[in-house]
Amino acid sequence: MRTLIANGTIVTADGSYRGDVLVDGETIAQVGADLAGAGVAADETIDATGKYVIPGAIDVHTHMELPFGGTFAKDTFETGTRAAAFGGTTSIVDFAVQSRGASLRAGLDAWHAKAEGNAVVDYGFHMIMSDVNDDTLGEMDQLVAEGVPDFKLFTAYPGVFYSPDDHIFRAMQQTAKNGGLIMMHAENGPAIDVVAAQLVAEGKTDPYYHGVARYPIFEGEATSRVIRLAEAAGVPVYIVHLSAKEALDAVRGARDRGQQAFAETCPQYLFLSLDDLGNGFEGSKFVCSPPLREKDPHWQELWTGLKKDDLQVVSTDHCPFDFHGQKELGRGDFRKIPNGLPGVEDRVDLLHDGGVVAGRFSKERWVDVISTGPAKLFGMYPQKGSITVGADADLVVYDPNRKRTISAKTHHMDVDYSCYEGWSVQGASDVVLSRGSVVVRDGEFTGRKGHGRFVKRAPADYARLA
Ligand code: URP
Ligand code: ZN
Ligand code: ZN
């Protein structure tokens, strides 16, 4: 099957130009001006006049079916990747979880079993390490060889995913040898627990106090600590879901020193704030960690960080829990609210609207932070995140002028609310191709469960990207 995407504006991280893209089977076969006029034949032609043609977006931080707070994140690989496709995201990298006392192998196998035959678009895995010991350290090298080169550890969530500094440092030393990447959830969990217990003892149990307890300085402290530990171990480090100026300062400082330190933020930290955690128990819809911050100074700092490349990626941390029955587990004690927000479907449009339309950055930078940047840092480039001959034909015909309203009534994520209910955004995906197959066309799903494949990833050239 040959598909010609004609007359569009091809937008890449490097530049934009009028051109056509020929897809042959699963890959891009030709890119050039007026291929149709030059006699290139195709089985189907998609007219992209007035539209952008962008590489499929890549979300490198999702949690399908994550066990958390006595329940599970609601989207499966089928529903979550289907929602992703509607929003122009054609690859995800999800976090496989090592359960305490079990092996990394068992955790990874469990995640393969969840995804295989179910995913609608391509997927890869990072590994969450819950125990660091001689056995799990030994397993890390094998995972790198199997295409899972990144390991997430936590200075947050004592008693759940938390690792003490000596464990983190040992995992960093091992990763320095095997060539992979350490990903850090950097908040000072023990200090947060002290403040949270004091607030609850004062009767301050509403979701709002989840945001109060998790001071920005606790994120800044943990971020600078893990960055310094990574420097000592000689390993590249990537800070996930960065939310606060204090943490960004630590990343910026490290990058200025020449350290291989990278970071992502998420739409919720660019568009939502501590105010959303108010309004009684409704605020539970916005409980995630790190928490939503005060607008000032954090929003402006994060947008500037994205523009100046102190932040390289916008991912979602998609981790959806229903308001009814799941978030409600924390009525009367904010510490029991499952942490996480839905978002995999809306990232591309929110960043187009709030980034490009609002004039905060260029459309090329938009493509960089939602697709090319993550592809490079997570060992998928140029197979993904590029519009080049031989790359996977993961492509989006994007209408930069179409306006749509975000709502739980119309979204495809399996969750009963939207954090952006009623918001109007400018920009939407018209046609989405995953490895040459049209999976979404004009609001209709045309893909297939099981089409998505595991992407075996290699460590990236972190030194070059730093
Ligand atoms: O609140 C969040 N972020 N939930 C998902 C787990 C994590 O820490 O990424
Ligand atoms: Zn986290
Ligand atoms: Zn997460």
Token readout for 397 is 């015909």
Paired with 126 in beta bridges are: 95
Position in ligand 1 atom list of the atom nearest CA 288: 1
User: Would 390 be classed as within a structural domain?
Assistant: no
Pairing of strands 71-72, 67-68: antiparallel
Q: Whose CA is nearest to atom 9 of ligand 1?
A: 317
How far is it, in rounded angstroms, from Cα 40 to Cα 49?
18
Identify the nearest ligand to the CA of 93 by its number.
3
Mean pLDDT of the chain: 98
For ion ligand 3, residues whose CB falls within 5 Å: 317
Distance 436 CA to ligand 2 centre (A): 33
What pLDDT, in 10s, does the model give residues 22-68? 999 999 999 999 998 999 999 999 999 999 999 999 999 999 999 99
Token readout for 93 is 């990298």
User: Would 120 be classed as within a structural domain?
Assistant: yes
Read off the pTM. Answer: 0.98
For ion ligand 2, residues whose CB falls within 5 Å: 185
Task: Judge if the beta carbon of residue 319 lies within 6 A of ligand 1.
Answer: yes
% of the chain beyond a pLDDT of 70: 100
Distance 31 CA to ligand 2 centre (A): 39
pLDDT number for residue 36: 86
**In 3D, which of 206, 195, 207, 406 has the Cα closest to residue 291?**
207
Q: Whose CA is nearest to atom 4 of ligand 1?
A: 340
Q: How confident is the model at residue 383 (pLDDT cuts 50, 70, 90)?
A: very high
SS (H, E, C) 294-352: CHHHHHHHHHHHHHCCCCCEECCCECCCCCCCCHHHHCCCHHHCCCCECCCCCHHHHHH
User: Would 400 be classed as within a structural domain?
Assistant: no
Q: How confident is the model at residue 72 (pLDDT cuts 50, 70, 90)?
A: very high
What pLDDT, in 10s, does the model give residues 157-216? 999 999 999 999 999 999 999 999 999 999 999 999 999 999 999 999 999 999 999 999
User: Would 216 be classed as within a structural domain?
Assistant: yes
Q: How confident is the model at residue 253 (pLDDT cuts 50, 70, 90)?
A: very high
How far is it, in rounded angstroms, from Cα 187 to Cα 150?
19
pLDDT number for residue 132: 97
Position in ligand 1 atom list of the atom nearest CA 152: 9
Distance 283 CA to ligand 1 centre (A): 16
- Placement of tokens 């066990």 in the chain: 67
Distance 34 CA to ligand 1 centre (A): 46
Q: Which one of 59, 68, 277 would you pick to mutate in the ligand 1 pocket, going by the greatest count of ligand atoms within 8 A of its CB? A: 68
Task: Judge if the beta carbon of residue 185 lies within 6 A of ligand 1.
Answer: yes
3-state DSSP assignment of residue 5: strand
User: Would 162 be classed as within a structural domain?
Assistant: yes
3-state DSSP assignment of residue 373: helix
User: Would 371 be classed as within a structural domain?
Assistant: yes
What pLDDT, in 10s, does the model give residues 315-346? 999 999 999 999 999 999 999 999 999 999 99
Q: For residue 365, how many C-alpha atoms fall within 13 Å in the half-sphere facing its CB?
A: 19
Total domains present in the chain: 1
Identify the nearest ligand to the CA of 152 by its number.
2
Q: What are phi and psi of 40, to 5 degrees?
A: -75, 125
Let me know if 328 is exposed, middle or buried by CB neighbors in 10 A (0-12, 13-18, 19+): middle
What is the domain range of residue 194? 55-382+457-465
Q: Whose CA is nearest to atom 8 of ligand 1?
A: 289
User: Would 443 be classed as within a structural domain?
Assistant: no
Token readout for 239 is 């800070």
Q: Which one of 317, 321, 344 would you pick to mutate in the ligand 1 pocket, going by the greatest count of ligand atoms within 8 A of its CB? A: 317
3-state DSSP assignment of residue 93: strand
Which CATH number characterizes residue 269's domain? 3.20.20.140
The pLDDT of residue 15 is above 90? yes
What pLDDT, in 10s, does the model give residues 103-116? 999 999 999 999 99
Identify the nearest ligand to the CA of 291 by its number.
1
Which whole number is the average pLDDT over 78-85? Answer: 98
How far is it, in rounded angstroms, from Cα 143 to Cα 136?
10
Report the chain's C-alpha Rg in angstroms. 21
Q: Whose CA is nearest to atom 3 of ligand 1?
A: 289
pLDDT number for residue 107: 98
% of the chain beyond a pLDDT of 90: 100
User: Would 12 be classed as within a structural domain?
Assistant: no
The strand order across the sheet containing 89-97 reads 57-62, 89-97, 122-128, 150-154, 181-185, 237-239, 261-265, 313-314
Q: What count of residues does the chain have?
A: 466
Collect all residues with Cβ–Cβ distance below 8 Å to 382 and sequence separation of at least 6.
375, 388, 390, 391
Pairing of strands 150-154, 181-185: parallel
